[in-house]
Chains A and B, each alone.
Chain A
């Protein structure tokens, strides 16, 4: 009690609120904790002691099992390739298309942005069957490139919408001064707009990467073959097979989320700065 009296801003109610917030945090993270707990068990240990018991022994069997069932290096390579190309390609496309709208203020900017905003809301169901056919017709079906092309455009539409309004805040004087000094439009974009927008662009790269990594619907339809599957799709196709041990699926889940988790932790500062970027999606 003396401590409560000393800091009179921490009344008993304060501790109650802290405990409640802590309990919510525990509930929110419990699926992760359960996953870690069970990924390091042996299958026998799991089936005899259940999911909430502490592992009898620390084992990596589940991981080696998962790696023998799924060609993880290939899935990892596919996911890294797709997400990286989409992240940078999508941001490049956004930068190019936002420039005439945000800086050039061309006629028709309003309708163009409205159409792009609508396309970010469009349900993927309303595109999927024609895309499925288009991918087969262009021989990109079952290759990472079908997914890359689709998401560069879809993320690019969102990025254009976002960047156009950010570009509107670039001071006119700077742009005019550059034009008077003889800079062409391309030079102004490359030498002036790009450096000013760099923080926003890096946030977009992070978001595009994570969104594309986690994407489910379009990859599950367009990447039917194991050789082209992404990390999450490989996990979900394995799940369809009933005989698979739960510990193996836990190990696979852990492996599937590690890359985004690492990416997230590295870029957490960028994310804090850019939460409003994610807000619009």
Chain B
């Protein structure tokens, strides 16, 4: 038995080497760099102890970037998950039954389309649509008589909400498709029995739909929250963190320190803290799931 177990380890050799080279060593190097002041390249490394971390605590930009992460969570987790579950139930159990499953799958495909788009393309389209001068939204607003339409991405009060709008659009298809697949597990007779007992659509939604998709809700919330804490490309492409830092997020702040400000040590510190926050949030969510499963 022991020898049989031994022979299995060979199969782990490739991922062992790959994981070490691509994940373990780079991440360890990143953590080590977070204790140094370093401009990158051939510049000398200066030991800084926990200096970068204490700088971070007093860095208003850093706190701002995490505050904006909360808005990213609203746009990527809260709104799409809530809307996704309602839309999924509507498509499967309301429209699907009355207009046929083909109508439902056509609508699903349309909602899912943004998910297969390269982010570089999605970012370009939205920065163009939201453009204050030649963007479609403002062209439309002007054609209906709005004389001074807003500068969607250029105004510090608005930019964050404009980015959120794009993220909701981008994200909606993901929970929808997962919830629709989950709802195919429900026995249709269950809904019929509930209807015979006089339960309306909302009552059925609460009593049958929600409990059915609970495992998928956990998966969607976990994965989408991690994605929201990591969001990068939409910010780089749409706003570059501006105007006036109003759309700064941690990943973009780290990127800027690495590749624009040549503060590699400080960038590594931000990236390390990000990793710790993500692991912490994931651990909390997984613990919550485990407790909920035990209660069920």
A-side residues, CB < 8 A to B, are 9-10, 14, 17-18, 21-22, 24-25, 27-29, 31-32, 34-35, 50-52, 93, 96-97, 99-100, 104, 106-107, 112, 115-116, 118-119, 121-131, 134, 149-150, 152-154, 156-157, 160, 185, 189, 210, 213-214, 216-217, 221, 231-233, 235-236, 239, 246, 249-250, 253, 256-257, 260-261, 264, 268, 272, 275-276, 278-281
Report whether A216 and B223 are in contact in the complex, using a CB–CB cutoff of 8 Å. no
The residue that A123 contacts in the complex, of B172, B177, B274, with Cβ under 8 A, is B274
Chain B: interface size category: 35 or more
Q: Chain B's nearest CB lies how many Å from the CB of A238? A: 9
With the chains together, A51 CA to B130 CA distance in Å?
A: 12
Task: From B7, B95, B124, B250, give the contact of A235 (CB < 8 A).
Answer: B124
Q: What would 15 more interface pairs be, CB under 8 Å, given A126-B275, A253-B121? A: A17-B94, A34-B129, A51-B129, A97-B11, A107-B5, A125-B258, A126-B272, A128-B255, A129-B268, A134-B25, A134-B26, A216-B119, A217-B232, A235-B120, A281-B223
Task: Give bound CA distance, A30 to B288, whole Å.
Answer: 38
Alpha-carbon separation in the docked complex, A115 to B23 (Å):
10
What's the least CB distance linking A249 to chain B, in Å?
Answer: 6
Q: Residue B52 at the A interface, CB < 8 A?
A: no
Q: Give the docked Cα–Cα distance between A109 and B5 (Å).
A: 12
Interface of chain B residues 113 through 132 with chain A (CB within 8 A):
113-114, 116-126, 128-129
At the interface, is chain A mostly helix, strand, loop or mixed?
helix
| A166-B37 Cα distance, complex, nearest whole Å | 46
Nearest B residue to A103 by beta-carbon distance?
B8
| Contact among B111, B124, B135, B275 with A239 in the assembled complex (CB-CB below 8 Å) | B124
- What is the CA–CA distance of A50 and B143 in the complex, to the nearest angstrom? 11
1/0 per residue, CB under 8 A from A, across B258-271: the answer is: 11000010011011
**Residue B60 interfacial (CB < 8 Å):** no
Can you list 23 A-B contacts with CB-CB less than 8 angstroms, sorted by A residue number?
Answer: A17-B90, A17-B94, A18-B99, A21-B91, A21-B95, A21-B107, A28-B113, A51-B134, A51-B135, A51-B139, A125-B258, A125-B270, A125-B271, A129-B268, A130-B26, A131-B26, A157-B19, A189-B11, A214-B116, A231-B118, A257-B116, A257-B118, A260-B118
Q: Are A29 and B110 in contact (CB under 8 A)?
A: yes
User: Contact: B136 with A279, CB < 8 Å?
Assistant: no
How far apart are the CA atoms of A99 and B250 in the complex, in Å? Answer: 37
Smallest CB-CB separation from B233: which chain A residue?
A216
Residues of B within 8 A of A (CB): 5, 7-9, 11-12, 14-15, 18-19, 21-23, 25-27, 29-30, 33, 40, 87, 90-91, 94-95, 97-99, 103, 107, 109-111, 113-114, 116-126, 128-129, 134-136, 139-140, 143, 169, 172-174, 177-178, 181, 216, 219-220, 223, 226, 229-230, 232-233, 237, 250-251, 254-255, 258-259, 264, 267-268, 270-272, 274-275, 278-279, 282
Partner among B9, B18, B219 whose Cβ is within 8 Å of the Cβ of A153: B18
Q: Check if B14 sits within 8 Å of A185, measured CB to CB.
A: no
Given the interface pairs A121-B279, A125-B254, the reply to whether A275 lies near B181 with Cβ below 8 Å is: yes
